[in-house]
């Protein structure tokens, strides 16, 4: 077997990598796609066979995903990175995919939208939220090509799988292979790092366990209580190694120290009376006497001086030194990289004594803001969950704390939703722009109506909303004082653009609604009654003459109590319509003699 490494500077996502592969035409058969951080003891032959058999029968089956069953709150499922799968067990086909975020801030996040046709084709459908996505895929040659065709696909799941399954045009299908007796999971966050490490120590990944010594040079021995120890470890007589501990080569542990649930790398020196619990300590770390280390990750060459306490959720990076008797606050992230340091600039590291102690070396790490623009749409809270994922497990141990934080997030999210009036504003702006263009460039009514209708559909709005916006915009163009021929008189504007309003009015309910809008628009456009009336009355007349408004609707509007409420001008406008009403009622009477004398003729 030959291993080729392909280095590409521009690759920022799976999508980029696949496009690169397609461009280089390196793959000409079915292939297995895994990320480098997958931990698994799976034999792929069965899945491969299944995939090949399926390909023989049906060329459109382009991908087989490996899924593993687990309970919804399983520790080996990434918090805030779940997935909903809609599956057909009979044909092993995946019908729909949707990523699930931890904090669902928009309404879209909380809903599963799928094509109804799925139910026509598949009599039995499972909607599953209990699957670990192993991130092991068997792909056909078409997959890289599809990524090239759809150049905006980045993520293999959220973009590619979702895209393929929702596309009617491609007609490709994606299948799944559900496994139960093997282990597969992906280290995609520090929280998953913790969970998968625990799984390895508990031997779920057997035979991929430390004592198999798969890495050349390792010589781990397995002891009762899930303890893995290299041969060259020096344990002092009074030190205590409790359950679930891994200790690397040449590490020394001094008197009275207690280790539990932890992983300690090679060449570490642990002092006297140190307590280490649920921590991951990498190679060449020095921890001096009386330290307490809990639920954290300490990277290579870090030094903890005497009496340091590292609280839960901390990430201590390479070469950091923490001064004597310092308490590192929970969830700190410490680094020795100088601030704003590029790779070649040698900016000086400014240590922060507040976090690393007086003699310490290091500073707390702040993520550069807006560093990755592709992630812009991601809810900041969801990013936080991923980033502080390790904290989430810490919180998970204390259920109450988690609930508190969850409700906190909940209340914040609801605030956020109320503020979110953007779509309406956006529609306003779009309509105003469209109309402005139409007025200026002298579009025909047909074109303007088409554009507006497109807008309506795009924003999923209704005709009422459209009328509410179009009527005032049209009326705004009327100049009451303008002379005939200027193109701005009431009559000219109405003749020119009235039909556009007519396009937005269909049945009687629309007409009544339109009248209310007209009344309000006139009243808000002009503060004085005379100019308002100068628009309203001709408009009413015009719409009646053009049969856009029918007499029933006008009468209905007139008699509706709401028309007589509102501002003074609005009321007066209604009053100004009285002569017309009288005329209408009269003609009505003439039409149908048997009708009674009106009880409300005012």
Partner 1 sequence: MSKNNELVDDLVAKLKRRQLVGSSTVAQATLKLLIVVISKSNWTTCNQLLTLVKSVGQRLIQANPTELAVGNIIRRVLHVIREEFRDADVNASQNQPEFQSAPLTTSSSMYNLLGETGSTPDDSNVQYTSSLRSNIIQEIREIKDELENIYDNIKNQASLQIHSNEIIMTIGRSKTVEEFLKMAAVKRKFQVLVAESAPSYSGQEMALELSKAGVETTVIPDSAVFAVMSRVNKVILGTHAVLANGGLVAISGTHMMAAAAKHHSIPVVVCTGLYKLSPLYPYDEDSFNVTFNPDSVLGFEEGDLIEKVTVTNPYYDYVSPDFVNLFITNQGGHPPSYLYRLIVENYDPNDHTFDL
Quick one: 131 or 293, whose CB is closer to partner 1? 131
Among 37, 243, 367, 372, binds partner 1 (CB under 8 A): 243
Q: Minimum Å distance from CB 178 to partner 1?
A: 12
The first and second tokens of residue 163, run together, are 């895209």
Q: Locate tokens 């007209």: which residue?
A: 518
Quick one: 191 or 317, whose CB is closer to partner 1? 191
Residue 133 to residues 188, 202, 358, Cα–Cα distance (Å): 12, 21, 46
Among 96, 157, 175, 244, binds partner 1 (CB under 8 A): 244
Quick one: 223 or 429, whose CB is closer to partner 1? 223
| Closest by CA position to 80, among listed 401, 380, 415, 417 | 380
| Closest by CA position to 103, among listed 357, 381, 348, 426 | 381
Among 203, 272, 476, 488, binds partner 1 (CB under 8 A): 203
Looking at the DSSP bridge assignments, the partners of residue 38 are 186
Quick one: 199 or 588, whose CB is closer to partner 1? 199
Separation of CA 406 from chain center? 17
Can residue 129 be called a binding residue for partner 1 (CB under 8 A)? no
How much is the CA Rg of the chain, to the nearest whole Å?
A: 35
Can residue 231 be called a binding residue for partner 1 (CB under 8 A)? no
Other Cβ atoms within 10 Å of 238 Cβ, number: 12
Among 55, 75, 104, 172, binds partner 1 (CB under 8 A): 75
Q: Minimum Å distance from CB 231 to partner 1?
A: 11
Q: Minimum Å distance from CB 396 to partner 1?
A: 9
User: Which 25-44 positions form the footprint of partner 1 (CB under 8 A)?
Assistant: 41
Can residue 223 be called a binding residue for partner 1 (CB under 8 A)? yes
Would you list the DSSP string of 57-97? H-TTEEEEEEEEE--TT-TTSPTT-EEEEEEETTTTEEEEE
Quick one: 87 or 431, whose CB is closer to partner 1? 87
Can residue 202 be called a binding residue for partner 1 (CB under 8 A)? yes
Residue 287 to residues 250, 305, 335, 400, 433, Cα–Cα distance (Å): 15, 6, 17, 32, 67
Quick one: 134 or 355, whose CB is closer to partner 1? 134
Among 34, 38, 44, 70, binds partner 1 (CB under 8 A): 70
How far is Cα 263 from Cα 244, in angstroms, rounded to an integer? Answer: 8
Can residue 46 be called a binding residue for partner 1 (CB under 8 A)? no
Stretch that binds partner 1, among 138-146, 224-232, 429-437, 571-579 (CB under 8 A): 224-232
Can residue 217 be called a binding residue for partner 1 (CB under 8 A)? no
How far apart, in Å, do the first and last CA atoms of the chain sit?
Answer: 97
Can residue 399 be called a binding residue for partner 1 (CB under 8 A)? no
Can residue 207 be called a binding residue for partner 1 (CB under 8 A)? yes
Among 2, 4, 107, 224, binds partner 1 (CB under 8 A): 224
Q: Locate tokens 């290299």: which residue?
A: 230
Looking at the DSSP bridge assignments, the partners of residue 246 are 228, 263
Q: Minimum Å distance from CB 437 to partner 1?
A: 58
- CA angle (557, 561, 563) in 5-degree steps: 50
Residue 539 to residues 287, 493, 508, 518, 523, Cα–Cα distance (Å): 86, 10, 18, 8, 13
Residue 353 to residues 287, 290, 292, 330, 451, Cα–Cα distance (Å): 19, 20, 19, 16, 63
How far is Cα 214 from Cα 211, in angstroms, rounded to an integer? Answer: 8
Among 9, 71, 371, 411, binds partner 1 (CB under 8 A): 71
Helix (H, G, I), strand (E, B) or coil at 34: strand
Stretch that binds partner 1, among 56-64, 108-116, 209-217, 542-550 (CB under 8 A): 209-217
Rounded (10°) angle between helices 380-387 and 389-397: 70
Among 24, 59, 74, 111, binds partner 1 (CB under 8 A): 74
Can residue 365 be called a binding residue for partner 1 (CB under 8 A)? no
Q: Minimum Å distance from CB 208 to partner 1?
A: 8
Q: Minimum Å distance from CB 399 to partner 1?
A: 11
Quick one: 109 or 130, whose CB is closer to partner 1? 130
Stretch that binds partner 1, among 222-230, 354-362, 512-520, 577-585 (CB under 8 A): 222-230
Can residue 193 be called a binding residue for partner 1 (CB under 8 A)? no
Q: Locate tokens 């490490």: which residue?
A: 197
The first and second tokens of residue 18, run together, are 């696949």
Quick one: 185 or 303, whose CB is closer to partner 1? 185
Other Cβ atoms within 10 Å of 227 Cβ, number: 18
Question: Which backbone phi and psi does 238 adopt, to 5 degrees?
Answer: -100, 5
Name, in order, each residue with C-beta under 8 angstroms of 513's C-beta and a sequence gap of 6 or more. 464, 467
Q: Minimum Å distance from CB 206 to partner 1?
A: 4
Can residue 222 be called a binding residue for partner 1 (CB under 8 A)? yes
**Count of residues touching partner 1 (by CB under 8 A):** 33
Among 12, 26, 127, 219, binds partner 1 (CB under 8 A): 219
Separation of CA 367 from chain center? 20
Quick one: 225 or 423, whose CB is closer to partner 1? 225
Quick one: 181 or 600, whose CB is closer to partner 1? 181
Stretch that binds partner 1, among 63-71, 326-334, 427-435, 569-577 (CB under 8 A): 63-71
User: Which 81-120 positions form the footprint of partner 1 (CB under 8 A)?
Assistant: none
User: Which 494-553 positions form the footprint of partner 1 (CB under 8 A)?
Assistant: none
Helix, strand, coil percentages for the chain (3-state, nearest 5)? 40, 15, 40
Contact letters for partner 1, residues 147-186 (x by CB under 8 A)? ---------------------------------xx-x---
Can residue 69 be called a binding residue for partner 1 (CB under 8 A)? yes
Name, in order, each residue with C-beta under 8 angstroms of 4's C-beta and a sequence gap of 6 or more. 26
Residues that bind partner 1 (CB under 8 A): 41, 68-77, 130, 180-181, 183, 198, 202-207, 212-214, 219, 222-226, 243-244
């Amino acid at each position: 077997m030959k291993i080729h490494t392909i280095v590409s500077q521009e690759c920022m996502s799976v999508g980029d990598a696949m496009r690169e592969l397609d461009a280089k035409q390196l793959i000409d058969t079915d292939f297995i796609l895994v990320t480098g951080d997958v931990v698994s003891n799976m034999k792929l032959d069965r899945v491969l066979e299944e995939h090949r058999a399926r390909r023989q029968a049906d060329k459109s089956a382009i991908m087989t995903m490996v899924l593993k069953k687990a309970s919804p709150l399983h520790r080996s499922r990434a918090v805030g990175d779940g997935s909903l799968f809609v599956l057909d067990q009979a044909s092993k086909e995946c019908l729909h995919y949707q990523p699930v975020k931890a904090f669902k801030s928009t309404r879209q996040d909380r809903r599963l939208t799928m094509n109804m046709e799925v139910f026509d084709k598949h009599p039995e459908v499972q909607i599953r939220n209990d699957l670990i996505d192993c991130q092991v895929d068997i792909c056909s040659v078409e997959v890289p090509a599809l990524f090239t065709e759809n150049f905006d696909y980045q993520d293999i799941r959220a973009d590619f799988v979702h895209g393929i399954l929702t596309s009617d045009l491609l007609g490709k299908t994606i299948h799944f292979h559900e496994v139960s007796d093997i282990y597969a999971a992906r280290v995609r966050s520090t929280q998953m790092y913790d969970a998968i490490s625990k799984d390895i120590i508990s031997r779920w990944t057997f035979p991929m366990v430390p004592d198999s010594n798969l890495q050349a040079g390792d010589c781990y021995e397995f002891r009762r209580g899930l303890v893995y120890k290299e041969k060259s470890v020096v344990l002092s007589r009074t030190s205590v190694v409790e359950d679930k501990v891994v200790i690397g080569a040449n590490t020394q542990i001094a008197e009275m120290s207690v280790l539990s649930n932890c992983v300690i790398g090679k060449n570490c020196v642990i002092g006297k009376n140190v307590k280490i619990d649920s921590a991951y300590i990498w190679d060449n770390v020095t921890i001096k006497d009386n330290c307490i280390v809990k639920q954290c990750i300490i990277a290579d060459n870090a030094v903890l001086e005497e009496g340091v306490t590292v609280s839960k959720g901390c990430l201590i990076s390479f070469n950091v030194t923490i001064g004597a008797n310092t308490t590192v606050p929970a969830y700190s992230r410490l680094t020795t990289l100088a601030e704003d340091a590029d790779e070649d600039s040698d900016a000086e590291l400014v240590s922060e004594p507040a976090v690393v102690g007086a003699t310490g070396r290091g500073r707390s790490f702040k993520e550069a803001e807006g560093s990755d623009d592709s992630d812009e749409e991601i809810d900041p809270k969801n990013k936080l969950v991923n980033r502080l994922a390790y904290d989430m497990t810490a919180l998970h141990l204390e259920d109450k704390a988690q609930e508190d934080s969850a409700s906190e997030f909940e209340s914040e999210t609801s605030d956020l939703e109320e503020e979110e009036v953007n779509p309406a504003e956006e529609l306003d702006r779009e309509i105003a722009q469209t109309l402005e263009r139409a007025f200026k460039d002298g579009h025909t009514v047909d074109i303007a109506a088409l554009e507006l209708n497109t807008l309506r559909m795009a924003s999923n709005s209704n005709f009422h909303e459209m009328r509410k916006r179009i009527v005032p915009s049209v009326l705004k163009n009327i100049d009451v004082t303008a002379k005939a021929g200027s193109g701005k008189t009431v009559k000219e504007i109405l003749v020119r653009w009235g039909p556009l309003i007519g396009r937005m009015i269909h049945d009687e309910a629309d007409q009544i609604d339109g009248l209310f809008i007209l009344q309000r628009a006139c009243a808000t456009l002009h503060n004085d009654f005379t100019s308002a009336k100068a628009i309203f009355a001709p408009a009413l007349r015009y719409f009646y003459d053009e049969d856009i408004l029918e007499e029933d609707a006008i009468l209905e509007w007139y008699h509706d109590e709401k028309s007589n409420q509102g501002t003074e001008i609005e009321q007066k406008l209604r009053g100004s319509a009285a002569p017309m009403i009288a005329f209408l009622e009269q003609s009505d009477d003439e039409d149908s003699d048997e009708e009674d004398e009106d009880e409300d003729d005012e």
